[in-house]
Amino acid sequence: MSLPVSMEDTELFPKGAKSLDLTPGKEYDPVAIKEMLTSLSPLWWSRLLISTRGFTINLLPTNDEMTLFTVDDAYTAMHSRLVAQPSSPDSEERRAEREKFISHIYTIAHFPSVSTVLAELSRGVQSENVSPFAHPTAGEAFTTVFGAPNEATYRIADGQKHAYLVFSRTLSRLQARWAVEKGKKKIRFETDPEWQPDNRVVLFEELFRGNRTWVLLDFDRHILRFWRPRGASIIFGDRFVEKKKREGLRLCDICGMLEQGREQFKALAGFVLCSPECAQEAAETVK
Ligand SMILES: [Zn+2]
């Protein structure tokens, strides 16, 4: 079974949007989710999160670093909890945990006026309605996903909602498609060269004209670590990485990070190394 999706899918990732739509996903079908978690590979789920996260962070207000970092954390948490380790066998128990986590995301997404409620909580506004964190049926989802209720958690939740609400909407559309399209086409998220991520996959910063740099956030580091040493290909696609290699750019021998400019990484004892951390690790393997 398969599910065709790609970055060119403008229903999932509309181009030209100026701001982030926080309308939550409505469709939640536990049976479809179970099938998708069983049938779709770790690479499919990883690239779904990579593209949804890129789409989200590129539509956040540029001057709001606090929200950027909390959204990045949310996607790192989702990746940790939803993507199976590609190198080790999966278990029924782990799949059940993933199903549970997705059900929590939808409990949050379906909470009445959740975006407003979280914004008010983070500003310390007392509502006459019961707090979602203390709600008899929704409370568990809020505390599992965001943490124990306190002022810091409320601020984090108000930032992270951008990640969870956008992801819920993307996943809702995919669930609806799963019912009608399974088995028809290939899974484009995991076939190269159909995976050709554009600017919306990572955050770029242009310090001056012509100098565009990939802003490496914790989520990117998480992906590089999770898939190492293939991380750069997972994020950018085999074709892109091959092209960069032909242009003379290298990968770090330890973590798989791609150079952004020629001779950016140091060569040491036969290794190409991106950072002091990777140099340290290389030194330990040589000993
Ligand atoms: Zn490295």
How many whole angstroms from 261 Cα to the centroid of ligand 1? 15
pLDDT of residue 200: 66
Residue 155 token pair: 């601020």
- Decide if 46 contacts 235 (C-beta within 8 A): no
CA distances (Å), 61 to each of 56, 162, 285, in order?
A: 10, 12, 43
For residue 187, give the nearest of 1, 13, 4 by alpha carbon.
4
Q: What is the pTM for the complete model shown?
A: 0.78
How many whole angstroms from 285 Cα to the centroid of ligand 1? 14
How many whole angstroms from 69 Cα to the centroid of ligand 1? 22
Helix axes 139-146, 92-110, angle to 10 degrees: 110
pLDDT of residue 134: 93
Maximum C-alpha span of the chain? 65
pLDDT tens digits, 111-156: 999 999 999 999 988 777 778 999 999 999 999 999 999 999 999 9
Residues of the chain with pLDDT under 50: 186-187
How many whole angstroms from 274 Cα to the centroid of ligand 1? 4
Residue type, 18: K
Report the C-alpha gap between 194 and 190 in whole angstroms.
8
How many whole angstroms from 252 Cα to the centroid of ligand 1? 5
How many whole angstroms from 268 Cα to the centroid of ligand 1? 12
How many whole angstroms from 93 Cα to the centroid of ligand 1? 33
How many whole angstroms from 134 Cα to the centroid of ligand 1? 43
Rg of the chain taking only CA atoms, in angstroms? 20
pLDDT tens digits, 95-110: 999 999 999 999 999 9
